[in-house]
Structure formats: structure tokens, C-alpha cells
Amino acid sequence: MEKGSQWIDQKVQELCGLSKTIWEYAEVGLREEKSAAALAGYLEKEGFSIQKGVGNMPTAFVASFGQGKPILGFLGEYDSLAGLSQKTVPTREEVVPGGAGHGCGHNLLGVGSLASAVALKKEIEGGRLKGTVRFYGCPAEETLIGKVFMAKAGVFNDLDAAITWHPWVVNGVWGGQHLAMNSVRFAFYGRTAHAAAAPHMGISALDAVELMNIGVNFLREHVIQEARLHYVITNGGGQPNVVPAEAEVWYYMRAPHRHQLEEIYPRILKIAEGASLMTGARLEIKFQVGCYDYLPNRVVSEVVLDSFRKTGAPKFSEEDFVFAKSLEQSFTPGQKLSVLGASNIPPEYGEMTLHTDVAPFYDWGKTLPGSTDVGDVSWITPTAQLTAATFVMGTAAHSWQATAASGMGIGQKAMVAAAKAMALAGYELMSKPDLLKRAKEEFRKNTGGKPYVSPLPPEMDKPQMQL
């Protein structure tokens, strides 16, 4: 693996530059044209073959190098977040007022995974490693779209394992489970009438929305404690003296495991149908997106963690610490401990400003109260997620503080550390058949050997909208 890691060392400037370019593009989900082109272009120059537009998304692609088995995939993301434009300074200053920014560090995520893929390519090219390495260009993670539609298109099916990472406050490996989720809009259609003069002539679509919500609120008591059902009324009619002919409510439904959600979701559909029957308003179900819970593979996760220990945590400069200390001043009182607590990170980490070590597993078997489309990949192939300290300790995800760190030395040094660790882990997995065999045995045990079934309705083969 020497040549591969040497390549990363030689290209540090170039890789950091690429991550900065994507940070500047700050393109939101499904609009990442320039970011996807920059990553795909880089890989093409390195000799990867590129398949564009996978999953019916113009900004999704698969880059492949090598031949035959084993096939190892690195997952990359590059979408930004609306409203999080921020300069690389430790106080709130936007680049573009109200603009988008990389408040989840996906500019680093894409380039870090790309660097690992190219490092392994150097090994394959030099005849020191056999098999195929892939980089998956996954758009629109923030809206849980990219990998779900790519998975439905079958692009992960022949993988032997997948490795990805996420910018975070700790150097380590995520073992926690994210939640399975469905996002669905329920639209009701009735008939307008004068609300005072002829209410008997009207059919209120808003009544149907309200009755549906009442039904779901009663259902709450009879679903598992860990389920989450939340909604917003996106259309409640125009004005009180017109019976609303159209109304819509948008639900997120979540549970720790996909099979639990599959049990709850049909009951919600029945409630929606009931509201339609009660009011006479026609119901239209607009499925937006759904995803699996994350199933971490212990064997692959251990390989990634061991590799990270060998390649080492990022080495931050004096300047980085000065920046971090100053940025910390912007945290709200109690923020550090609350961010760490919500992410199952031991409270003693709160005494640090930047994490400079590699943490042991700290959240294995625990639940992380969010959702990610890496979940779908993890039910198709053994998967692990590294995290690297690209952010100042206590930074909330999706914040301007995260955007700031993602565009400067702190984020970039952690990205390079992540790339080296993932490259070594990939090398280990591809060169030691026994590791992949054990990873697959564990995977079969955890999935019960059942094939992945897309959470999307059968006829849905491309994203309907941006959330």
C-alpha cells in the first residue's frame, strides 16, 4: 500500500484544492453539476471508466478501475445545504447572503473518498493488488435521494464491500444505527363552496387533512416507542370563507428498523383512506422518498478502525487551534455537551477543542436520531463509515461553523487523514480474502439472507422533486 499512500501525500495540495473548489460551488442536491463534473473529470484523467446519469439522476455517476473480483466501493457525496453560506472565518459572515454552503462537509466527503479510490488504483495498476475499485458519485444525500435511487438501479449489487466516511468532530468509526424513514405527501381534493352561504355544497380537503392527523395522533400510542411521526400542513386552503378544495399534509415517518416502519406505514395509509371516506375528499398519495436504517458491518468497521490507528489522526497546526478556539466562542451555552450527548460521544470529549487521536468504538448498537441513505447500501453489501474530525469539537451538524471548518485547514487535514485510512482499509479487504469472507458471513446473518427490496414504490424510478 506504500505507493498508494505516497500518492496521497504527493497530492495533498491538489486534493485540498479540489475540495475547496467544490466548497465554493456549494451546489444543493440534484443540482451538483459542476461538483460532479469536477470529481468525474479527475477520475477520468486517472484512467477510471465513468458511467454517468445512473439512477436517472444527471449528477450521479460510477467510476471504475480494474477487473474482476473483489470489487470494493468508496461512496462520495458533494451536495450542500441551503442557507449555510459562510466564509472561512470563526464568526458568522456569509459569502452569498442567504446562499447555500457546505454545512455538512460533503465537499470533503467526495474528495476524501476519491483519493482513497485513486490510491487503490495505483496499487492495481502496479500489479500489487487484484480486483476492481469503484468510486460512487452519490448526489442529494441531504434529501435522502441519491443512494436510494442508485440502489434501486442496482449499481451496488456486485460489490464485495463498501467504505465511506463522514466529516464529524471525532476520528473514529460510526457503529450507531440511523433510522429508517419514509417521506410522503398526502393530498386531498374536495369541492369549493361559500363557507357561510352554502357550506353544504362544499367538500373540505382541509377537514380530511385534520382528520388524518387526528387519526395518526391516536395511532401514536400504539406504535413502538422509538417510532417518530412528524408532519407539516403544506397547503391548508386559501381563506376562511372558501371551503378548501385542496389541502396537503407532508409526513416523515421513522423507526429504528425498516421492517418496523413497513408495519406502521400501511396503518397510516388506512388512516388517510379513512379521512377520505369520512369527508368525501379524494386522496392522492405522493411518495417522496424512503430509506433503510444503517446496518454497520463489524468486520469491515474493525478493519477501517485498525487502519485509521495505523495511518493516524490528522495533525492540526497551531493556526488551526487558534481558529478552533475562536470559533468555539460562537457556541451557545451547553452546546458542546448537548451535541456530544445526542451523538453518543462520551462527555469527556467536551474538554477538547479538536480531536487529535483515533477513538475506540463508542456508539456500537446505539441509535442515532437521524436518517442517511448510506443505510440502503448497508443492506446490499457489508458497509463501514469512518468519521474524521473535520469540525471543531461540539460543532452542530448543518451549521455555519461546519461550513467554515470545511473550507479551511482543519477540514482539509482531517479529509486527508480519512482518505489514507480508508485506502489502507480497502487494501486490506481486497488483499485478504478471509476478511471479506467473514464480513459476508456477518452480513448474511444480519440480513437473514433476504435480498434488498427498495423502499420506493415499484413504478418510481427517478426522484419526483427536491425536498
Residues that bind Zn ion (CB under 5 A): 104
**What does the alpha-carbon distance between residue 442 and residue 450 come to, in Å, rounded to a whole number?**
13
Decide whether 76 or 202 has the Cβ nearer to Zn ion. 76
Which of 180, 195, 139 shows the shortest CA–CA distance to 294? 180
Residue given cell 405522493 in the structure block? 286
Q: Are 381 and 420 in contact (CB under 8 A)?
A: no
| Tally of residues, the chain | 467
Query: Which phi and psi angles does 206 have, rounded to 5°?
Result: -65, -40
DSSP β-ladder status, 49-52 and 61-66: antiparallel
Q: Angle formed by the axes of helices 409-431 and 2-10, to 10°?
A: 160
Between 339 and 439, name the residue whose CB sits nearer to Zn ion.
339
Q: Kindly tell me which of 236 and 370 has the beta carbon lying closer to Zn ion.
A: 370
133-157 exposure pattern, b = at least 16 Cβ within 10 A, e = fewer: bbbbbbbbbbbbbbbbbbbbbebbe
Q: How far is the CB of 374 from Zn ion (least distance, A)?
A: 9
CA–CA dist 208, 187 (Å, integer): 9
**Which CB sits closer to Zn ion, 77 or 160?**
77
CB of 387 to Zn ion, least distance (A): 11
Contact present, 27 and 33 (Cβ < 8 Å)? yes
229 versus 467: smaller Cβ distance to Zn ion: 467
Instruction: Provide the minimum distance between the beta carbon of 96 and Zn ion in the complex, in angstroms, as a whole number.
Output: 21
Nearer to Zn ion, 83 or 274 (CB): 83
Our CB check for Zn ion shows the closer of 141 and 160 to be 141
Nearer to Zn ion, 104 or 159 (CB): 104
Find the helix or strand (DSSP H, E) in which 94 lies. none
Q: Which is nearer to Zn ion, 63 or 104 (CB)?
A: 104
Residue closest to 184 by CA, chosen among 457, 461, 367, 462: 457
Instruction: Tell me how far, at minimum, the Cβ of 167 lies from Zn ion, in Å.
Output: 7
> To the nearest whole angstrom, how small is the minimum distance from the Cβ of residue 109 to Zn ion?
7
Least separation in angstroms between residue 104's CB and Zn ion is 3
For the beta sheet containing 228-235, the strands, ordered from the edge strand earlier in sequence to the opposite edge, are: 228-235, 246-255, 180-189, 282-291
Which is it for strands 383-389 and 246-255: parallel, antiparallel or unpaired?
unpaired
Q: How far is the CB of 398 from Zn ion (least distance, A)?
A: 8
DSSP per residue, 316-374: --HHHHHHHHHHHTTSPTTHHHHHHHHTT--GGGGG-SS--S-PPP--TT-B-SS--TH
Distance CA(240)–CA(234), nearest Å, equals 16
> Least distance to Zn ion from the beta carbon of 289, Å?
16
**CB of 127 vs Zn ion, minimal distance in Å:** 37
Strand order in the sheet with 132-138: 49-52, 61-66, 132-138, 71-77, 161-168, 383-389, 172-174
Closest residue to Zn ion in the complex (CB): 104
Picking from 181, 320, 197, 202, the residue whose alpha carbon sits closest to that of residue 253 is: 181
Least CB distance from residue 226 to Zn ion, whole Å? 22
Minimum separation from the CB atom of position 372 to Zn ion (A):
7
Choose between 104 and 180: whose C-beta lies nearer to Zn ion: 104
Closest to Zn ion by CB, 146 or 256: 146
| Cα gap 196→210, rounded to integer Å | 20
